[in-house]
Chain A
């Protein structure tokens, strides 16, 4: 065998062999329309929702929760409409996950009121005695850092101006700190008094959870 005495040739040949399948199934699809469909119904995340998504990533929620509903009868029955490729157009990275220690979250938006999420995140065991989900009460004790929000949304190409982002933040802050906010009671229960007039990490995370699948519901309704 000639090449077993030529290490550099051997390495080049290995690389070529490795790159054949890679090119066919990974590199070429990068540029195919079928892997990146778009829909006018699918809107980018607001700055707050994206901050919530980053907290979801930081806490590794994707280790236990998937975000893709498969086109299987019992799955659609359990979670709702199966996942479509266009709904992930703004997801960088994707968060489909690989293990369902907890349920899929791709259709969780709008399923429960905000108050449900405040109470559940504060103590999953308080709501479901047998749950093994870690409690996340401490997220309500952290003030949301929005100093990179504009930088983030512009890097992701969401098309917001700096004042759009500021407005989105102040608007969401006004919503959750309003005395008329329907989930005020449960929010106050988990949020320390000094942060009740501020945005917390838990507020942002819930905003993100409520966005999941929302646009698809509109898309399906109008079909």
Chain B
């Protein structure tokens, strides 16, 4: 396989699983984006918006992102410990089980098996499958770490450890439910408590899928791709612990002005503002790593992806805490502004970092060169343009609807009925669909480029 006996087969399996779920998730995303301005696409019960939206969020969050995380984690784990995977057959079983669970999960959501807790919609039998594959992953992570040949664990490994531990806690606590039958269960928590547990989970699952492991990739693949060491080790230590400590207090900023006790909301607000510091610790670390070598933005196609990605991460982590402030939240919450916010993180930060990591990693594990750097550059501009257009459309839509909800006549009565505010958004929804299409074309080029790279195998580096 390769000189050190590393297991790259499972890395490759997860990488292409990620690409598969990415395409599926985006097709569903485009479908629901169209439904938002033309309900005619709600053709059947399983194509109606309420069911499809969860297929999109779970497909992207658990399907695409987790697969990308597993692929890169197994790769980084072996490289950074200079040790082959402790249990290669378990990793292979992990790959098969993961794809089976995600496929069954998607089908069950199409069928309406939906617990309604956001990003935890999967019913209990699927939840058990998720927990099992997570344990399989954790066994390999710790098994390999214990056997490692490299004494010091690099920053990326810290983030992988934190993610492994945190997601296990989050997923199990939030998904505790009492089954009625194989297809239906009820949460063990009620009312305000259920909301509090859910948004503790909802906020942190996003943090520990879209932030923590993405930072692991960033800290590993940026120095690899540029040949430059991370600017400050001390800054990365402070950022790591501060991020892990503060993140968990902030879930209730999703529940501002709801019946949840006010002190929980206020504590969440305070810690949300604090989170700017560790988030920007990583942003600054990224920028300063390139100090004196900014010419690589031109000469090294991968650097663009990392720098654009970390820039959107920086913007995201300022926008998020500000949205958590009670007065600002009162205006923006429940509007499309928040949809724009989420997608800057996923389409801007996550997609950029995963793309760059895959562009570096896939040729490495297959002993070949990337099929086309030109196509990678085209992909960069398409996804960047698609994302900026997408999110900007949603931010404007959010401001507009928020303002219309609050508008009153001189006599104090409401100026707009609800439907007026919805109908006024259709131009933005059409714009969003077009932007999504541009982004999707970029992603198809990304997938095509990697498929062609692998097909060049074996060992035709000069070709």
Q: Mark B156-185, 1 if CB is under 8 A from A, else 0.
A: 011001101110010001000010110010
Task: Give the residues in chain B near A89, CB-CB below 8 Å.
Answer: 190-191
B5, CB-defined interface residue at 8 Å? no
Task: Give the residues in chain A near B298, CB-CB below 8 Å.
Answer: none
Closest chain-B Cβ to A36's Cβ sits at a distance in Å of: 6
Nearest A residue (CB) for B415: A74
Is the beta-carbon distance between A93 and B117 smaller than 8 angstroms? yes
Q: How many residues of A contact B (CB 8 A)?
A: 78
Task: Give the residues in chain A near B252, CB-CB below 8 Å.
Answer: 25
Q: Contact partner of A63 among B50, B152, B248, B336, CB < 8 A? A: B50
Instruction: Tell me the bound Cα distance from A202 to B342 in angstroms.
Output: 34
Closest chain-A Cβ to B61's Cβ sits at a distance in Å of: 14
Task: Give the residues in chain B near A72, CB-CB below 8 Å.
Answer: 257, 330
Q: Mark A67-109, 1 if CB is under 8 A from B, else 0.
A: 0101110110110000111011111111111111111000000
Is the beta-carbon distance between A15 and B165 smaller than 8 angstroms? yes
Give the segment of B34-42, B278-286, B301-309, B348-356 that binds chain A: B34-42
Is the beta-carbon distance between A134 and B35 smaller than 8 angstroms? yes
Is the beta-carbon distance between B267 and A134 smaller than 8 angstroms? no
Is the beta-carbon distance between B248 and A21 smaller than 8 angstroms? yes
Q: Contact partner of A148 among B50, B180, B200, B406, CB < 8 A? A: B180
Q: Contact partner of A134 among B49, B161, B241, B426, CB < 8 A? A: B49
Tally the A-B contacts, defined by beta carbons under 8 Å. 247
Is the beta-carbon distance between A88 and B50 smaller than 8 angstroms? no
Closest chain-A Cβ to B163's Cβ sits at a distance in Å of: 9
Is the beta-carbon distance between B142 and A100 smaller than 8 angstroms? no
Is the beta-carbon distance between A133 and B39 smaller than 8 angstroms? yes
Is the beta-carbon distance between B249 and A101 smaller than 8 angstroms? no
Is the beta-carbon distance between B198 and A94 smaller than 8 angstroms? yes
Give the segment of B18-26, B108-116, B215-223, B224-232 that binds chain A: B108-116
Is the beta-carbon distance between A54 and B184 smaller than 8 angstroms? yes
Is the beta-carbon distance between B245 and A19 smaller than 8 angstroms? no
Is the beta-carbon distance between B146 and A8 smaller than 8 angstroms? yes
A52, CB-defined interface residue at 8 Å? no
Task: Give the residues in chain B near A151, CB-CB below 8 Å.
Answer: 180
Instruction: Tell me the bound Cα distance from A85 to B151 in angstroms.
Output: 52
Known contacts: A93-B115, A93-B194. The answer to whether A100 contacts B334 by CB under 8 A is yes
Closest chain-B Cβ to A63's Cβ sits at a distance in Å of: 5
Instruction: Tell me the bound Cα distance from A59 to B111 in angstroms.
Output: 9
Instruction: Tell me the bound Cα distance from A29 to B237 in angstroms.
Output: 31
Nearest B residue (CB) for A135: B42
Is the beta-carbon distance between A4 and B158 smaller than 8 angstroms? yes
B214, CB-defined interface residue at 8 Å? no
Closest chain-B Cβ to A59's Cβ sits at a distance in Å of: 5
Nearest B residue (CB) for A97: B334
Known contacts: A7-B142, A35-B261, A148-B180. The answer to whether A15 contacts B169 by CB under 8 A is yes
Task: Give the residues in chain A near B418, CB-CB below 8 Å.
Answer: 78, 102-103
Known contacts: A57-B116, A93-B116. The answer to whether A71 contacts B186 by CB under 8 A is no
Instruction: Tell me the bound Cα distance from A1 to B257 in angstroms.
Output: 43
Q: Mark B378-415, 1 if CB is under 8 A from A, else 0.
A: 00000000000000000000000000011110000110
Nearest A residue (CB) for B191: A88
Task: Give the residues in chain A near B112, CB-CB below 8 Å.
Answer: 58-60
B432, CB-defined interface residue at 8 Å? no
Task: Give the residues in chain A near B422, CB-CB below 8 Å.
Answer: 101-102, 130-132
B372, CB-defined interface residue at 8 Å? no
Instruction: Tell me the bound Cα distance from A63 to B249 in angstroms.
Output: 25
Task: Give the residues in chain B near A58, CB-CB below 8 Å.
Answer: 112-114
A195, CB-defined interface residue at 8 Å? no
Closest chain-B Cβ to A179's Cβ sits at a distance in Å of: 30
Closest chain-B Cβ to A210's Cβ sits at a distance in Å of: 19
Nearest B residue (CB) for A74: B406
Is the beta-carbon distance between A11 and B165 smaller than 8 angstroms? yes
A30, CB-defined interface residue at 8 Å? yes
Q: Contact partner of A60 among B49, B145, B161, B264, CB < 8 A? A: B49
Instruction: Tell me the bound Cα distance from A72 to B330 in angstroms.
Output: 8
Which 6 residue pairs of A and B lie closest in terms of their CB atoms, listed nearest first? A60-B50, A88-B191, A21-B248, A134-B42, A21-B249, A85-B259
Q: A68-B259, A125-B39, A130-B419 are in contact. List 18 more A-B contacts (CB 8 A).
A: A8-B142, A14-B162, A17-B241, A19-B248, A21-B245, A21-B271, A26-B196, A35-B196, A72-B257, A74-B407, A74-B414, A77-B414, A85-B191, A85-B261, A88-B195, A92-B187, A98-B334, A101-B422
**Contact sample, A vs B, 26 pairs, CB 8 Å cutoff:** A7-B148, A14-B161, A18-B166, A21-B246, A22-B169, A34-B261, A36-B190, A57-B115, A60-B50, A60-B53, A63-B54, A64-B50, A74-B407, A74-B408, A88-B191, A93-B198, A96-B195, A98-B118, A99-B334, A99-B339, A101-B422, A102-B422, A125-B39, A132-B422, A132-B426, A136-B48
A: which residues have CB within 8 A of B?
A: 1, 4-5, 7-8, 10-11, 14-15, 17-22, 24-26, 29-30, 32, 34-36, 54, 57-64, 66, 68, 70-72, 74-75, 77-78, 83-85, 87-103, 124-125, 128, 130-136, 138, 148, 151-152, 155-156
